[in-house]
């Protein structure tokens, strides 16, 4: 078995399943639809939204991007949310981060109809995840990590899992997914963060180590138990030593050093990233199915 967990290949499988579901809905006269809302001209956001739109179209999902100026007020954005919530042709609504500093993301995420919250950030969906209620939507990146583990046949029941990072987007929901009592979960989960004493000692105990703290190449070989599964969620830009003024995209794991120690490991890029888009579009089709049942 290859030690590399190929996120692109697994995402392609998820996309195939999503496409089949979208075609089933189309035969019923329903085209799943997602609208992306972008405020300002952040270059990374432009790239990410473009990738999501292209893949949505490939899968038979209707998509559109609404671009608002950076000076848009919170009230104006909330008014747009209300209009999109009321429009039955849109089954999913995604507000692309980051937002301008004068807009509170928590207020905006809470304004999205929970039934259309395909990003899984609405407080109601967060609560459903914590309670083990499968009627909500799970944030896409941790949902994607979960699918990587499941589809790579990584044992989860009773596994020692260490999650590095306690953020609302990855760390907390990741822990909530894996500690649930049920199939493809039931793990013993430790969440490490900036206040954790001796992070390395916790990491060395892990059967599954999930790095989502935003520190470039933080996880070194001596922090990993031999044979452990290592999932790298980090996205960091560092100076490229080979090209003056250029940058490199690296994860939270020192991949070259850790790979010989790990039993399974995700590359970065090509690991978790493709799964985030895959789960977003899977959520969109699920939202369409629920809203038109």
> Which residues belong to the active site?
52, 96, 119
| Among candidate residues 277, 284, 290, the one with its CA nearest the CA of residue 92 | 284
- Counting Cα atoms < 13 Å in the Cβ hemisphere of 90 gives 25
Q: Say how far apart CA 56 and CA 77 lie, in whole Å.
A: 24
Burial label, 196 (beta-carbon count in 10 A; 0-12, 13-18, 19+): middle
Contacts of 41 (CB under 8 A, 6+ apart): 70
Contact 55, 281 (CB under 8 A): yes
Strand order in the sheet with 208-211: 188-192, 160-164, 208-211, 229-232, 264-265
- For 210, 255, 264, the CA distances from 203, given in Å and listed in that order, are 9, 15, 15
Q: Copy the structure tokens of residue 185.
A: 């979960």
Question: What residues are paired with 94 via a beta bridge?
Answer: 36
């Amino acid at each position: 078995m290859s030690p590399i967990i190929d996120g692109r290949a697994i995402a392609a499988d998820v996309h195939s399943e999503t496409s089949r579901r979208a075609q089933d809905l189309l035969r019923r006269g329903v085209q799943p639809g997602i609208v992306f809302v972008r405020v300002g001209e952040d270059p990374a956001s432009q790239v990410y939204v473009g990738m999501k739109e292209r893949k949505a179209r490939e899968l038979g999902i209707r998509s559109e991007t609404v671009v608002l100026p950076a000076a848009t007020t919170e009230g104006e954005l909330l008014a747009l949310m209300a209009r999109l919530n009321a429009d039955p042709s849109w089954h999913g609504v995604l507000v692309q981060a980051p937002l301008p500093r004068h807009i509170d993301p928590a207020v905006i995420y809470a304004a999205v109809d929970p039934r259309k919250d395909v990003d899984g950030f609405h407080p109601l969906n967060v609560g459903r995840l914590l309670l083990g209620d499968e009627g909500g939507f799970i944030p896409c990146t941790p949902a994607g990590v979960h699918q990587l583990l499941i589809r790579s046949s990584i044992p989860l029941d009773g596994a020692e899992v260490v999650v590095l990072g306690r953020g609302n987007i990855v760390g907390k929901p990741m822990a909530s997914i894996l500690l649930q009592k049920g199939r493809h979960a039931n793990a013993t989960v430790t969440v490490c963060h900036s206040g954790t004493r001796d992070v390395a000692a916790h990491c060395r105990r892990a059967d599954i180590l999930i790095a989502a703290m935003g520190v470039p190449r933080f996880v070194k070989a001596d922090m990993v138990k031999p044979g452990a599964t290592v999932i790298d969620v980090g996205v960091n830009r560092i100076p490229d030593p080979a090209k003056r003024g250029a940058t490199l995209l690296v994860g939270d794991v020192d991949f070259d050093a850790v790979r010989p120690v790990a039993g399974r490991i995700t590359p970065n890029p090509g690991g978790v990233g493709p799964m985030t888009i895959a789960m977003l579009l899977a959520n969109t089709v699920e939202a369409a199915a629920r809203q038109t049942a």
